[in-house]
């Protein structure tokens, strides 16, 4: 079981503590593959104790500290300090997490903890870059469902740590009528009506490819409209047509270089799948430090 303090910290980020603990256990089990750490058992005395620092080797936005802490606890390391919390920026050489404990256990936790820290901090750092790029506009950077299978909750948490906002977590959270739904249903209006009739209390977003479809979606009463692969000029026209009647989300063809141009149109969201499917891993390492005496 995770400590009460860590459990509460995980919950404060709207994460499921039991799921985080289970993931930590399963990844450690994967690393051992039913055996033991052959190298550590061969080279390190059983009673050896070390102090290790998880240190940033590149600057960026930190995410996944609570997950790394869960890995430490699962491996039997309970004496640790969080020096750079989730959602904070870290510079090169700065310590994120410091742990003291059995050397073999520290090394067992090392790679799994770093995998989570690096992956999630990479997502948070890329998100922060997009957020900074459109600073001083009203537009928000939003993620998609293009996440690593079974890691969606953590990756969307990382987006939040970078200053972005989350789209729906699952298919059951809200309806998003995309082009294939429109074709299958016989049009935007027909698709919207079908969803609204079956799930009257559900938020409904509609994807449109043209300004004509946009008007149909507005007339139907869409809560949110996704502008698929529209140019900056078309997006600006869509904002004018919508006139605040519904929220608009630009998607497709977005890059860090054109993000500000799209945000300047007044669109409410930029949907950026790259936040989770293409974020580079942030370089973080574990270094043992010399102990006096």
180-208 pLDDT, tens digit per residue, is 898 888 888 888 889 989 999 999 999 99
Mean of the per-residue pLDDT values for the chain?
Answer: 95
Question: What's the pLDDT band for 292 if we cut at 50, 70, 90?
Answer: low
Query: Of these residues, 25, 57, 98, 111, which one is catalytic?
Result: 111
Within 10 angstroms of residue 104's Cβ, the number of other Cβ atoms is: 22
If you average pLDDT over residues 147-169, what whole number do you get?
Answer: 97
What is the rounded distance in angstroms from the CA atom of residue 116 to the CA atom of residue 96?
A: 13
The sign one gets for the Cα dihedral 11, 15, 19, 23 is negative
* Angle separating helix axes 65-74 and 17-32, nearest 10 degrees: 60
Specify if 293 maps to a domain.
no
How many domains are contained in the chain? Answer: 2
> 249 and 175 share a domain?
yes
Q: Range of 142's domain?
A: 132-277
Q: What is the C-alpha to C-alpha distance for residues 72 and 65, in angstroms, rounded to an integer?
A: 11
**Integer CA distances (angstroms), 89 to 85, 121, 125, 179, in order:** 9, 10, 9, 39
**What per-residue confidence (pLDDT) applies to 187?**
84
Residue 293: pLDDT over 70: no
Averaged pLDDT, 108-123: 98
Look at residue 42 and tell me if it is in a domain: yes
Residue 30: CATH number of its domain: 3.90.1170.20
Catalytic hit among 146, 196, 236, 260: 146
Cα distances from 181 to residues 131, 173, 195, 248, 254, in angstroms, run 31, 17, 10, 19, 23
143 and 69 in a common domain: no
Please give the Cα distance from 95 to 92 (Å, whole number): 9
Say which CATH number the domain at 256 has: 3.20.20.70
CA angle 206, 212, 217 (to 5 degrees): 30
The answer to whether residues 165 and 225 belong to one domain is yes
Question: What is the pLDDT at residue 188?
Answer: 83
207 tagged catalytic: yes
111 is catalytic: yes
User: What's the whole-model pTM score?
Assistant: 0.95
Has 98 been annotated as catalytic? no
265 and 179 part of one domain: yes
% the chain with pLDDT above 70: 99
Choose the catalytic residue: 89, 178, 236, 247: 178
């Amino acid at each position: 079981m995770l400590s009460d303090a860590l459990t509460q910290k995980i919950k404060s980020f709207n994460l499921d503590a039991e799921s985080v603990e289970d993931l930590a256990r399963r990844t450690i089990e994967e690393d051992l593959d039913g055996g033991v750490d052959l190298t550590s058992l061969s080279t390190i005395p059983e009673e050896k104790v070390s102090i290790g620092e998880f240190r940033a080797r590149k600057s960026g936005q930190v995410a996944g500290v609570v997950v790394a802490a869960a890995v430490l606890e699962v491996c039997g390391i309970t004496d640790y300090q969080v020096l750079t919390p989730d959602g904070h920026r870290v510079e090169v050489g700065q310590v994120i997490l410091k742990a003291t404990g059995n050397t073999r256990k520290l090394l067992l936790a090392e790679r799994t903890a770093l995998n989570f820290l690096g992956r999630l901090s990479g997502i948070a750092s890329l998100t922060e870059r997009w957020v900074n790029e459109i600073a001083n506009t009203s537009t928000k950077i939003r993620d998609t469902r293009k996440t690593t299978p079974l890691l969606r909750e953590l990756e969307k948490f990382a987006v939040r740590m970078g200053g972005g906002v989350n789209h729906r977590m699952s298919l059951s959270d809200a309806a998003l009528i995309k082009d294939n739904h429109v074709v299958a249903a016989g049009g935007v209006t027909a698709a919207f009506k079908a969803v609204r009739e079956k799930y009257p209390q559900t938020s409904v977003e509609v994807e449109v490819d043209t300004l004509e479809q946009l008007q149909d979606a507005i007339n139907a009463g869409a809560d949110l409209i996704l502008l698929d692969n529209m140019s900056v000029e078309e997006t600006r026209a869509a904002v004018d047509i919508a006139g605040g009647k519904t929220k608009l989300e630009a998607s497709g063809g977005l890059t860090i270089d054109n993000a500000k141009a799209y945000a300047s149109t007044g669109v409410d969201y930029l949907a950026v799948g790259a936040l989770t499917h293409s974020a580079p891993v942030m370089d973080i390492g574990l270094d043992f430090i010399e102990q006096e005496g």
